[in-house]
């Protein structure tokens, strides 16, 4: 298993500003992911955070809007840039551990953009 800490747990932001979410894992992991969950919707993968190289973004998500850092095997950040009300979501950090490929999630960061 893995214990994942995310900060902040929630925030209210103004339109046009940026917010950085931090994700800390209690063990070294190869695979780290960032998801978005919009109100009433399922989870959508934003990107895979790669250690030592640029993140891999899914269709519809771009680096300018969601820059990601992965300085080591236990830590990653996601920045939501130039926010609009449509960015109001829960953002979730996730890792895969074990041979069975089990997914574990952080507590989530609930973002409200006014």
Contact flags string 76-105 toward another protein, x per CB under 8 A: --------------x-x---x---xxxxxx
Near another protein by CB under 8 A: residue from 74, 87, 106, 113: 106
Give least dist CB 27 to another protein, A.
15
- CA pair distance 23, 50, nearest whole angstrom: 14
- CA pair distance 89, 39, nearest whole angstrom: 6
CA atoms within 13 A on the CB side of 32: 34
Which residue, 55 or 83, is less far from another protein as judged by CB? Answer: 55
Backbone φ and ψ for 86, nearest 5 degrees, come out as -65, -15
- DSSP character for 33? E
Which residue, 30 or 82, is less far from another protein as judged by CB? Answer: 30
Near another protein by CB under 8 A: residue from 7, 13, 20, 43: 43
């Amino acid at each position: 298993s893995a214990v994942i800490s995310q900060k902040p747990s929630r925030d209210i932001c103004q339109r046009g500003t940026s917010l950085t979410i931090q994700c800390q894992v209690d063990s070294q992991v190869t695979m780290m992911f960032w998801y978005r969950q919009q109100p009433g919707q399922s989870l959508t993968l934003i990107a895979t955070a790669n250690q030592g190289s640029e993140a891999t973004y899914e269709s519809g998500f771009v680096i300018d809007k969601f820059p990601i850092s992965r300085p080591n095997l236990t830590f990653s950040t996601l920045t939501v840039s130039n926010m609009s009300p449509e960015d109001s979501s829960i953002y979730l950090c996730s890792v895969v551990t074990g041979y069975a490929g089990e997914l574990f999630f952080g507590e989530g960061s609930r973002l409200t953009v006014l």
